[in-house]
């Protein structure tokens, strides 16, 4: 049984290199911006690195301002899609720190005075 390869490291590497060069970045600049090793970018661009996590693809897409689908070879559209206000509302917001509620009960071992 033959399986279809969904991800091509060669396509990813070629697109990563072309996007990086289009933004006039060298590998060292991109590595510094992303806090990763320059050698790893070189391996990705040359198809030598086969392990790639979704978060890493997303970070590259943000750094290069392209869609993750484009980098992965799933789309020919280079531009990253910006969420519309209605889509933003559908994404749950991160929990924010709230100020503590005012204390209504006396601490343990103390009596509440009025």
Number of Cβ atoms within 10 Å of the Cβ of 15 = 20
pLDDT in tens, 55-103: 999 999 999 999 999 999 998 887 765 554 444 333 343 444 555 666 6
Residue 69: inside a domain? yes
Residue 70: inside a domain? yes
Overall number of domains in the chain: 1
pTM for the structure as a whole: 0.65
pLDDT in tens, 17-58: 999 999 999 999 999 999 999 999 999 999 998 888 999 999
> What is the Cα–Cα distance from 73 to 71, expressed in whole angstroms?
5
**3's torsion region: left (phi>0), alpha (psi -120 to 50) or beta?**
beta
Which residues span the domain enclosing 67?
9-77
CATH of the domain at 17: 1.10.260.40
**67's torsion region: left (phi>0), alpha (psi -120 to 50) or beta?**
beta
């Amino acid at each position: 049984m033959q399986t279809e390869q969904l991800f091509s490291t060669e396509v990813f590497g070629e697109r990563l290199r072309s996007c990086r060069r289009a933004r006039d970045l060298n590998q060292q600049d991109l590595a510094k911006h992303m806090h990763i090793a320059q050698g790893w970018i070189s391996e990705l661009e040359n198809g030598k690195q086969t392990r790639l996590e979704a978060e890493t693809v997303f970070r590259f897409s943000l750094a290069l301002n392209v869609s993750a689908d484009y980098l992965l070879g799933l789309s020919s559209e280079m531009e990253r899609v910006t969420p519309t206000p209605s889509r933003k509302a559908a994404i749950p917001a991160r929990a924010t720190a709230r100020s503590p509620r005012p204390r209504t009960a006396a601490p343990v071992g103390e009596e509440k005075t009025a």
